[in-house]
Amino acid sequence: NINDDTLILLFILLDGTKNGETFAPAKDQFQEELVIRPLHSGDIYASFQFRTLWDTDFLQEGQKKVSHYRLFPKSLGQVLSKFSVQELHISFTQGFWRTMQWGQPFIPSPPGAELWVWFHDTVSDVDGNWKELTNVLSGIFCASLNFIDMTNTVQPSASFKPLGLGNATDHRFLRYATLPREIVCTENLTPWKKLLPCGSKAGLAVLMKSEKLFHSSFHSQAVHIRPICQDEQCTSKAWELRQTLNVVFDHYTSGQGKKEWSLFKMFSRTLTEACPLASSSKVYVDITDNPELFELSPATPLLSQAVVLGDRRTYSVYDLTRAETFGQLRSFNLLLRWKGDNMLRPLLHAERYVAGFGLQTGEIHTVIYNNHPYRAFPVLLMDSVPWYLQLYIHTLTVTSKSRDNKPSYIHYQPAKDRHRPHLLEMLIQLPPHSMTEVTVQFERALLKWTEYTPDPNHGFYVGSSVVSALVPSMVAMSTNFTQDQPLFSSFVPVKEESSYFVRVYTEPLLVNLPTPDFSMPYNVICLTCTVVAVGYGSFYNLLTRTFQVDEPSPPLAKRLANFIRRIRGVPLLA
Amino acid sequence: MSHDFLQMHLKAVISCLLIFLYKVHTTKAGQFFSSGHTNNWAVLVCTSRFWFNYRHVANTLSVYRSVKRLGIPDSHIVLMLADDMACNYRNPKPATVFSHKNMELNVYGDDVEVDYRGYEVTVENFLRVLTGRLPPSTPRSKRLLSDDRSNILIYLTGHGGNGFLKFQDSEEISNMELADAFEQMWQKRRYNELLFIIDTCQGASMYERFYSPNLMALASSQVGEDSLSHQPDLAIGVHLMDKYTFYLLEFLEEVHPASQANMNDLFKVCPQSQCVSTPGHRTDLFQRDPGSVLITDFFGSVRKVEITKDTINLTSPVEPPIQRSGSGDIQIESLTYVDQLPVAEIIHQKPKQKDWHPPDGFILGLWTLILLVFFQTYGIKHLKHIF
C-alpha cells in the first residue's frame, strides 16, 4: 500500500543524502492538476494534466545510455532514445469538440487518433523510423496505429512547428498522420494510466473510472513529450512528459438533466489523497463567472489568476498536498450548482462538410468564422485528403464576404495513387467579422476489391482539417515561460503579448465510395461454369457424337421360328 | 527380548511413516512437476464484426476474464476483438460488456488490454501470431512468444460452418489451414500442450483435421448442429452470450488457482439438456489422460517458486551522470522556442528542393522513340550539325 511505498522512498532518499557521495541523481519532478471549467450550457469540462519533468538528455551521444528511470516511464524513454525523437504528440479522442457551445479547449485534438513527431536532425532514414515508431506505439497504447503508413502520412511545410525547444525547423523531419476511424475505449485508457508514477491508485488518477469517462460527450487522452527550458537562462534542456485527459460531461446524459455537478457525480469517486510522488497536486475551478452563473462549495480562500486563451480568468485553487483540503471526512468533493444561462462567442471557429450528390463527384467545403469585431488575423489551414478522393485543384476557391480572397501562401502536394495523400496548406487572411469559405471539387475513385474494408458501406473517413491561428488577445499574455504557472496555461510557448496561438480542428468527413457487390466473383464463377457445362457440353456432344441404327430384338416366337428355320436351311423371317 | 520387540516395533513404525511420506510425495509434489510446462499463454479471438454480434465479444471477454483471474498476465495473453462493442455508439452503457441479463456481470472491466482490434483481426494476422512469422517491428504485446514448455489455450468464437470459420464477414479460415498452422507450431516447438476451444456453429468440424501431437480440442456443437445464443437483454437489445460459453463461464467462476478440477469436468460442461447442441471433444492426440490434466494447466498460470536462504549481493549503485560544466567556463548560447506561426517566414518560404529522380519508364520510352525516329529520318551524319 501507499504508506509503505512512501516509507521506502523516504529511506532511499535519506540514504542517498546521508552518504554524501558524489552522485546527484538526475532531478525529476511530477506535478498533477485538474482544471474544472463549468460551461454555459450546463455541461462541465474537466481537464487532467500530469507533467513529469526530467533533467536528462536522451539524445546526447557522448553520454552513456539512460538506464535508471524513476518517475519517467521506461517504455516511453526507450522509444525516445531508440528512434531519436525530438518531439512526440499523440492523442486519442472520442467525440467532437463543439467550439460554438464550449469555447476553446486547453489542448485541442481531432476525433480519432492523431500522431505527429519531430525527429532529431541526426536521423538519416526518417520514413523507416516513423514506420517502426508507429508499430511500437500501437503496442504501448493498444491502438491500431500500425495502419499509419505512407498513404496517410503527410509532411506539413508550415503547420505544426515544434512546441518545445529547437532551432532546426527543417520540415523534412516532421511527420503527421491521423486515423479518424480509431476507437477509444478502456483498452487505451489502461496503458495510459499505467504510465503515471502513481498509476491509478493515488492522487487525481483515482478519478479516472472508464464507465464514467466514456459516458461523456467528449473524451480525449493525449501524451505530449518535448524538450523545454530547465530554468530562466535556458542554457540546458529538460524533458517534459505531459499526459492530458480532457472530458466534457453532458448534463442530459450523464447529469440526468439537472444542472448540478459534483466530483462524485462526474467520476463516481472523491479524492482522498494526493499522489505521494507529486511535488504539487492541485484542483483549479474556473470561477470567473461565479456569482452570476453558478455557485461553488466548499469555498476556498486560495485564488489564482491566469491568462489563458487570451482571457484573464480567476480560479479557485484546492491544494491536495495540504491535509486541510480534505476536511473532517478525509474526502474531497466539489459541488457546483448552476443559476443562470449565458451565451458564448468564440473568436475562431471552423466547420467542414461534403456537398454534392451521387457516388462520382463531390465538393469539400471548409468554412472558417472570424468573430472578432474589428481585427483581421491570418490562419494557416492544413488539409490532408486520402488519395481515393481525387481533388481537382483548379476548382479551388477561397471566398470571404462573397469576394475572392487570395491566400498569401499555398503549398500543395498532389496525391500518388496508393502511395501518398493530398496535402494542401494555405495561409489565409481572415477579414474581421466574416465567414471564409474554401471549396474544392473531387472525384471518387474505385478501389481494387481487396482494398475495401470488411464494412465498406459504412463509408471512408477523411481526417480533420487543422486551422492554426494567432488570435488577437484581449489581455496581455505573459512571455515568461518558466515562472511558476499552472500547467494548463503554460502549454504553448508565447512569443508576443498581443496574440495567442490556437489550433482548431474541424469535423472529419465520412464519404461513401462506390462499393462493388462482393458476391459478384462467386456469382460469375457459378454462371460461367454453368454456361460452359450446359452450353459447350451439349454443343460438343452434338458435333462429335455418331449415330447408329439399332434394330430392336425380335419377340420370342419369331426367334424360335428363325432358329428352327436355320436348322432346316430355309431363309429366315424378316 | 522386550528390547528387540521395541526395536522391531520402531522399525515397523518408521517404515510405515516412510511409505506414507513417499505416497504423499508422488501424489502432490509428483503431480506438481509431472505436467511438463513452465509457462502459460492464451490466444483469445473474436472474429465477428457489427453490433448484433455482441455475444461473440462477450464470449471472448468472459474467457479473458477467467484466464486473467486465474493468473495469466496480460503480457501472455493475445486478445483479438474484431469490433468494439464497449464504446460502440449503440451501447446504452458505454465501456461495459455484459454477460448476464439485467447487467449483472461486466466482463469488460476496468483493466483490459486488447492487442488486435478492429480491422487487424484477419486470418493472416491470426496465423502469423500462431506461427510467429511477424514483421520485425511488431511490438511484444502482439506476439505469441511461446517456447517448447508453454501450454497454450486457444479460444475462437464467431460464425462458422462445416470446415470453416468466418472472419469479419469477409474471409474464412478452413480447418485444414488451422491444422497446418498447429503442425508448424509443433515443428517449431512452439508449444508443449495446446487446448483448443471453439464456440461456433458446427464447431466440431474445425478440429477434425488436426494431426499434430499434444492437442486437445473442445467444441460447442457437432457437425450439422447450430450453437445457440443464451438470452437477450431488452435494455441493450441484443443477445449477450452464447449458451456454451455462458455455462463455461459459470464453470470457470468456481475454479480458483489451487483447484484440482480436471478436464473430465470440463467435458461435462453444458450437456445437451442445457445447450441444445451437443458439445464435442477430441483427446486422441493428447498424450496424458484427460483425468489427470488440471484445468489450471491451461487456464491458470504456473508460478514455480524456489526458496533459497543464501544472501544475494545486489549490483553496484547507479553511476552518476556526467556533471554539467559550470556556467562560467563555456559560453553556452541560450536556447529558444520556435515561433508557432511565423507569417512573414511562411510567405517568403522558398519552395522545397525536390530530389532529382531519373526519368520514369514511360518518359524514357517516349524519348527513345523520338530519338530513334529522328535518326532514322535524318541519319547519323547530321549529328555534327546539331552538336
Locus of grid cell 514448455: B149
**How far is residue B102's CA from residue B100's CA, in Å, rounded to a whole number?**
6
Nearest C-alpha in B relative to A62: B322
Nearest C-alpha in A relative to B348: A409
**How far is residue A494's CA from residue A163's CA, in Å, rounded to a whole number?**
10
Catalytic residues of B: 159, 201
Q: Which of A61, A200, A235, A267 to mutate to test the interface with B (most CBs of B within 10 A)?
A: A235
A–B interface: beta-carbon pairs under 8 A: 168
More confident residue, B334 or B340: B340
Q: Are A445 and A515 in contact (CB under 8 A)?
A: no
Q: What is the pLDDT of residue B334?
A: 72
CA distance B212 to chain A (A): 31
Which residues lie closer than 8 Å to A505 by C-beta, 6 or more apart?
A: A97, A108, A109, A110, A111, A350, A464, A465, A466, A467
Q: Among candidates B76, B82, B77, which has minimal Cα distance to B46?
A: B82
Q: What is the pLDDT of residue B354?
A: 64
Tell which A residues from 196 to 215 touch B, by Cβ distance under 8 Å.
209-211, 213-215
The DSSP symbol for B262 reads B
| Strand extents, DSSP E, A60-185 | 85-94, 112-119, 153-154, 174-179
Q: Which of A169, A185, A425 to mutate to test the interface with B (most CBs of B within 10 A)?
A: A185
**How far is residue A100's CA from residue A323's CA, in Å, rounded to a whole number?**
39
Q: Are A51 and A30 in contact (CB under 8 A)?
A: yes
Nearest C-alpha in A relative to B90: A215
Q: What is the pLDDT of residue A287?
A: 85
Residue type, position A503, single letter: R
Q: What is the pLDDT of residue B80?
A: 96
Mean per-residue pLDDT, B153-175: 94
Locus of grid cell 523534412: A172
The DSSP symbol for A30 reads E
Q: What is the pLDDT of residue A511?
A: 94
Bridge pairing between strands A28-38 and A280-286 = parallel
Contact B337 A469 (CB under 8 A): no
Contact A455 B323 (CB under 8 A): no
Locus of grid cell 530513334: B372
Average pLDDT per run of 10 along chain A, which is 574 residues long? Answer: 45 40 65 90 90 81 69 91 93 93 91 94 92 95 93 92 81 94 93 92 91 93 92 83 94 79 89 90 85 75 79 84 78 80 79 94 95 92 95 95 91 93 94 94 92 91 94 78 73 83 93 90 93 91 89 87 90 82
Model pLDDT for residues A428-481, shown as the tens digit of each residue: 999 999 999 999 999 999 999 888 999 899 999 999 999 999 998 877 777 766
Using DSSP's 3-state secondary structure scheme, residue B324 falls into coil
Does A75 contact B at CB distance below 8 Å?
Answer: no
Model pLDDT for residues A117-151, shown as the tens digit of each residue: 999 988 899 999 999 999 999 999 999 999 999 99
Most distant CA atoms of chain A, gap in Å: 144
Nearest C-alpha in B relative to A519: B170
Other Cβ atoms within 10 Å of A25 Cβ, number: 15
Tell me the pLDDT of chain B averaged across its residues: 85
Contact B318 A67 (CB under 8 A): yes
Report helix angle A74-83 to A126-141, nearest 10.
Answer: 170
Contact A214 B115 (CB under 8 A): no
Q: What is the pTM of this model?
A: 0.84
Which residues lie closer than 8 Å to A59 by C-beta, 6 or more apart?
A: A80, A81, A84, A86, A120, A122
Model pLDDT for residues B90-134, shown as the tens digit of each residue: 999 999 999 887 778 899 988 999 999 999 999 999 999 999 999
Bridge pairing between strands B215-219 and B193-199 = parallel
Model pLDDT for residues B291-310, shown as the tens digit of each residue: 999 999 999 887 767 888 88
Chain B residues within an 8 Å CB radius of A22: 320
Contact A190 B50 (CB under 8 A): no
The beta-carbon neighbor of B334 closest among A185, A234, A470 is A234
Residue type, position A535, single letter: G
Q: Are A45 and A261 in contact (CB under 8 A)?
A: no
Q: What is the pLDDT of residue B98?
A: 92
The beta-carbon neighbor of B338 closest among A146, A166, A185 is A166
| Strand extents, DSSP E, A111-217 | 112-119, 153-154, 174-179
Contact A190 B113 (CB under 8 A): yes
Nearest C-alpha in B relative to A499: B341
pLDDT at B383 over 90: no
Using DSSP's 3-state secondary structure scheme, residue A279 falls into coil
Residue type, position A10, single letter: L
**How far is residue B360's CA from residue B366's CA, in Å, rounded to a whole number?**
10
Contact A144 B338 (CB under 8 A): no
**How far is residue A505's CA from residue A503's CA, in Å, rounded to a whole number?**
7
Contact A215 B94 (CB under 8 A): yes
Model pLDDT for residues B29-76, shown as the tens digit of each residue: 555 555 688 899 999 999 999 999 999 999 999 999 999 999 999 999
pLDDT at B326 over 70: no
Q: Are A463 and B379 in contact (CB under 8 A)?
A: no
Nearest C-alpha in A relative to B353: A172
Chain B residues within an 8 Å CB radius of A146: 120
Contact B95 A210 (CB under 8 A): yes
Chain B residues within an 8 Å CB radius of A454: 49, 119, 168-170
Domain boundaries, chain A: 29-338, 348-511
The beta-carbon neighbor of B113 closest among A146, A191, A493 is A191
Q: Among candidates B183, B242, B190, which has minimal Cα distance to B55?
A: B242
How does residue B351 score in pLDDT terms, banded at 50, 70 and 90? low
What counts of helices (H) and strands (E) characterise chain A? 11, 26
Bridge pairing between strands B150-157 and B39-46 = parallel
CA distance A176 to chain B (A): 16
Q: Are A118 and A85 in contact (CB under 8 A)?
A: yes
Nearest C-alpha in B relative to A167: B338
Contact B335 A167 (CB under 8 A): yes
Which residues lie closer than 8 Å to B327 by C-beta, 6 or more apart?
A: A233, A235
Contact A409 B349 (CB under 8 A): yes
Terminal CA-CA length for chain B: 133
Q: Are B228 and B275 in contact (CB under 8 A)?
A: yes
Dihedral (Cα; A161, A167, A169, A173), 10-degree rounding: -100
State the alpha helices, DSSP H only, in chain B: 2-24, 30-34, 54-69, 123-131, 175-187, 243-254, 263-267, 272-275, 296-299, 343-347, 361-378, 383-386
Does A183 contact B at CB distance below 8 Å?
Answer: yes
Chain B residues within an 8 Å CB radius of A515: none
Q: Are A181 and B117 in contact (CB under 8 A)?
A: no
Q: Are B266 and B244 in contact (CB under 8 A)?
A: no
Chain B residues within an 8 Å CB radius of A408: 347
Chain A residues within an 8 Å CB radius of B110: 186, 190, 209-211
**How far is residue A348's CA from residue A310's CA, in Å, rounded to a whole number?**
12
Contact B118 A144 (CB under 8 A): yes
Does A94 contact B at CB distance below 8 Å?
Answer: yes
Contact B114 A157 (CB under 8 A): no
What proportion of chain B, given as a percentage, has pLDDT over 70? 83
CA distance A429 to chain B (A): 10
Helix (H) or strand (E) holding A282: strand A280-286
Contact B119 A378 (CB under 8 A): no
The beta-carbon neighbor of B340 closest among A64, A161, A518 is A161
Give me the phi and psi of A514, to 5 degrees please: -60, 120
**How far is residue A498's CA from residue A472's CA, in Å, rounded to a whole number?**
6
Mean per-residue pLDDT, B366-376: 90
Q: Which fold has domain B39-297?
A: Rossmann fold (3.40.50)
Locus of grid cell 441404327: A549
Model pLDDT for residues B219-260, shown as the tens digit of each residue: 999 999 899 888 888 888 899 999 999 999 999 999 988 888
Query: Does the domain formed by A348-511 have CATH 3.90.1150.10?
Result: no
Q: What is the pLDDT of residue A21?
A: 37
Does A138 contact B at CB distance below 8 Å?
Answer: yes
Does A268 contact B at CB distance below 8 Å?
Answer: no
Which residues lie closer than 8 Å to A75 by C-beta, 6 or more apart?
A: A140, A195
